[in-house]
């Protein structure tokens, strides 16, 4: 039980560092002077000290929504597969619960965008609804197929099963699910082929458009939610699709896990540097590829698996 | 490992169905052939078959490096249209590709019952045959049609490797020579295309 809480705290502390790491790596690749890895914490403490201004046009949703964006993600943190051997984990949570919690958080983010009644907020919300409606079926299918391969519908149990007896005969099906989930990781976290997190240009904003009217504590909470979301996705990717290293002693296992998280961050940074942002109406094509691969992994599991 | 490579083979083929750029298509074709060559090397290593090892190396040399390079040079020489939009819309392709896969998996079931080992791979190679047919169908321009033809050849090669423990090396070399000849013939075809425009 102690290990369980320790890993969750460790992941939460790691969340801002990972996003700053991606940013720093991108700056190095673009021959700029990189930002510090602690920039996420600096931004957080700066925003906490600032005054919080709320537009007089808004309703009470704006006061509640930032907390409701963060809380489903924090709940999801408790359902992730275990990082070290012998740690407690919640075994009954399946693909639908995880996807549902993440989309609940997205739903409140969209409400927050609509509530300020600015043109940008509504635009961002409609785009986010457009993307997340395409992400959800693919995500359910992918996690479902990986848990079928692992032989258990619960995600925690599936992660443990994959680490101990890896289904080598389902390798092709496993690969399809991994490709699909990596596309989802990029799409749902608003990284470059889908959304550029660094600009405030009208044509490209999705996530930034919704939180344009926020300031102070609320903005800090939303940014924290974004980094927690990245940690959730990357640790799901790591424990379901790169499953090894669970059998070592706790300290080594956690170090291996963190190294793998940074590996995912490096992959995302390289994709971001090497790709141009897609037009908004081309995004269904990318997510369509993801849905095809998710479906394909289920088909290959069922038809060829036995 | 062989499962992994076969998965990668199908994955590169499916991504090439969604590509809208000619050079991207060439890259995916080259990766597709690379996985095929590695597959031949692995299976040859398992069966201890010298001929298959040689075919694997020749596949990597010709199909991964040679043919994409020649096609790229040709396309630069004749100023091809580099933006190739599929005629079949992506929405329909998303429906069509899994349908083709399910169809071929069940289509190949009687064949797989006859063969004892590697019976999963036959279904995948037949389905990649159909997918490369789709790649030929969904484009109007000539260059992606040629890539579709070449990936169909790749699928047949995969079928040859996995179903029959390797064809005789003479046949393989005949096929490679045919392919290079086909590229030369296509060169003439490009001349015609150029003359029309």
Q: What are the tens digits of pLDDT across the range B150-170? A: 888 888 888 888 777 666 767
* Cross-chain Cβ contact A299/B90 below 8 Å: no
What is the rounded average pLDDT of the residues A56-81?
A: 91
Q: Grade residue B118 by pLDDT with cuts at 50, 70 and 90.
A: low
Output the pLDDT for position B193: 64
Range scoring the smallest mean pLDDT among A22-31, A62-71, B149-158: B149-158
Q: What is the span of the domain harbouring residue B189? A: 2-196
Chain B contact for A293 (CB, 8 A cutoff): yes
Round to whole Å and give the CA distance between A52 and A63.
11
Tokens in use for A9? 């705290």
What domain count does chain B have?
1
Helix axes A283-304, B2-18, angle to 10 degrees: 150
Q: Which of residues 102-121 of B touch A (CB under 8 A)?
A: 102, 105-106, 120
What domain count does chain A have?
1
Average pLDDT along chain A = 90
Output the pLDDT for position A11: 92
Round to whole Å and give the CA distance between B56 and B64.
11
Output the pLDDT for position A36: 92
DSSP-based three-state secondary structure for B21 = strand
The answer for residues whose C-beta is within 8 angstroms of residue A151's C-beta and 6 or more apart is A158, A161, A167
Would the pLDDT of A153 be above 80? Answer: yes
Q: Which of A129, A84, A91 is CA-nearest to residue A253?
A: A84
Output the pLDDT for position A305: 64
Instruction: State which residue of chain A sits closest to B96, comparing Cα positions.
Output: A292
Output the pLDDT for position A306: 56
The phi, psi pair for B165, rounded to 5°, reads 55, 30
Round to whole Å and give the CA distance between A134 and A115.
23
* Cross-chain Cβ contact B105/A303 below 8 Å: yes
Contact B43, B160 (CB under 8 A): no
Q: Grade residue A56 by pLDDT with cuts at 50, 70 and 90.
A: confident
* Cross-chain Cβ contact A172/B3 below 8 Å: yes
DSSP bridge partners of B148: none
Q: What is the span of the domain harbouring residue A153? A: 2-304
What is the rounded average pLDDT of the residues A90-114?
A: 91
Gap from A59 CA to chain B (nearest CA, Å): 39
Contact A301, A172 (CB under 8 A): no
DSSP-based three-state secondary structure for B83 = strand
Contact A175, A130 (CB under 8 A): no
Round to whole Å and give the CA distance between B76 and A268.
32
Output the pLDDT for position A84: 86
Tokens in use for A250? 């706790």
Output the pLDDT for position A202: 79
Q: What are the tens digits of pLDDT across the range A268-296? A: 999 999 988 888 888 888 998 999 999 88
Range scoring the smallest mean pLDDT among A152-161, A176-185, A196-205, B12-21: A196-205
Range scoring the smallest mean pLDDT among A185-189, B2-6, B30-34: B2-6
Q: What are the tens digits of pLDDT across the range B165-194? A: 666 767 777 777 777 777 777 777 777 665
Output the pLDDT for position B50: 83
The answer for residues whose C-beta is within 8 angstroms of residue B157's C-beta and 6 or more apart is B36, B40, B59, B175
Predicted model pTM:
0.90
Average pLDDT along chain B = 83
Q: Which of B128, B127, B146 is CA-nearest to residue B25?
A: B146
Measured in whole angstroms, the distance separating CA B49 from the mean position of its chain's CA atoms is: 23
Q: What are the tens digits of pLDDT across the range A128-148? A: 999 999 999 999 999 999 998
Round to whole Å and give the CA distance between A167 and A161.
9
Q: Report the percent of chain B where pLDDT is more than 90.
A: 16
Chain A contact for B95 (CB, 8 A cutoff): no
Would the pLDDT of A149 be above 80? Answer: yes
Ramachandran class of A190: left when φ > 0, alpha when ψ lies in -120 to 50, beta otherwise: left
DSSP class per residue in B163-191 = HHS---HHHHHHHHHHHHHHHHHHHHHHH
Output the pLDDT for position A102: 93
Contacts B91 to A, Cβ<8 Å: 284, 288
């Amino acid at each position: 039980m102690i290990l369980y809480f320790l890993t969750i705290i460790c992941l939460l502390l790691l969340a801002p560092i990972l996003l700053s790491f991606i940013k720093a790596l991108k700056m190095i690749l673009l021959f700029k002077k990189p930002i510090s890895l602690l920039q996420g914490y600096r931004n957080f403490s700066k925003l906490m000290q600032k005054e919080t201004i709320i537009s007089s046009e808004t309703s009470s949703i704006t006061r509640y929504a930032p907390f409701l964006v963060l809380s489903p993600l924090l709940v999801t943190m408790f359902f992730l597969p275990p990082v070290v051997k012998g740690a407690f984990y919640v075994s009954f949570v399946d693909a639908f619960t995880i996807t549902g919690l993440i989309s609940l958080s997205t739903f409140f983010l969209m409400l927050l965008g609509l509530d300020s009644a600015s043109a940008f907020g509504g635009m961002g919300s409609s785009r986010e609804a457009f993307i997340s409606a395409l992400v959800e079926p693919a995500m359910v299918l992918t996690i479902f197929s990986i848990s079928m391969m692992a032989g258990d519908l619960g995600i925690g149990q599936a992660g443990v099963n994959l680490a101990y007896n890896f289904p080598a005969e389902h390798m092709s099906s496993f690969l399809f699910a991994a490709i699909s989930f990596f596309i989802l990781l990029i799409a749902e976290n608003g990284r470059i082929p889908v959304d550029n997190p660094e600009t405030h240009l009208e044509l490209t904003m999705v996530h930034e458009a919704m939180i344009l009217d926020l300031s102070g504590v609320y903005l800090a909470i939303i940014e924290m939610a974004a980094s927690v979301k990245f940690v959730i996705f990357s640790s799901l990717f790591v424990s379901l699709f790169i499953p090894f290293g669970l059998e070592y002693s706790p300290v080594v296992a956690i170090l291996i896990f963190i190294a793998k998280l940074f590996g995912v961050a490096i992959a995302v940074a390289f994709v971001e540097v090497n790709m141009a942002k897609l037009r908004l109406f081309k995004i269904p094509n990318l997510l369509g590829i993801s849905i095809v691969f998710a479906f394909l992994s289920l088909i290959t599991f069922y038809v060829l698996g036995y | 490992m062989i499962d992994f490579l076969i998965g990668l083979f199908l994955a590169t083929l499916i991504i090439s169905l969604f590509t809208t750029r000619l050079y991207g298509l060439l890259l995916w074709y080259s990766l597709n052939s690379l996985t095929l060559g590695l597959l031949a090397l692995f299976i040859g290593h398992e069966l201890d078959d010298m001929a298959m090892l040689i075919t694997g190396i020749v596949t990597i040399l010709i199909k991964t490096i040679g043919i994409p390079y020649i096609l790229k040079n040709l396309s630069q020489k004749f100023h091809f249209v580099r933006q190739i939009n599929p005629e079949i819309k992506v929405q329909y392709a998303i429906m069509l590709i899994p349908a083709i896969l399910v169809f071929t998996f069940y289509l190949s079931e009687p064949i797989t019952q006859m063969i004892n080992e590697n019976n999963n791979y036959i279904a995948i190679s037949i389905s990649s045959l159909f997918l490369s047919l789709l790649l030929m169908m969904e484009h109007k321009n000539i260059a992606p049609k040629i890539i579709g033809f070449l990936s169909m050849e790749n699928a047949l090669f995969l079928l040859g490797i996995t179903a029959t423990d390797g064809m005789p090396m003479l046949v393989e070399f005949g096929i490679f020579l045919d392919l290079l000849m086909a590229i030369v013939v296509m060169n003439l075809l490009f001349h015609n295309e150029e003359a029309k425009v």
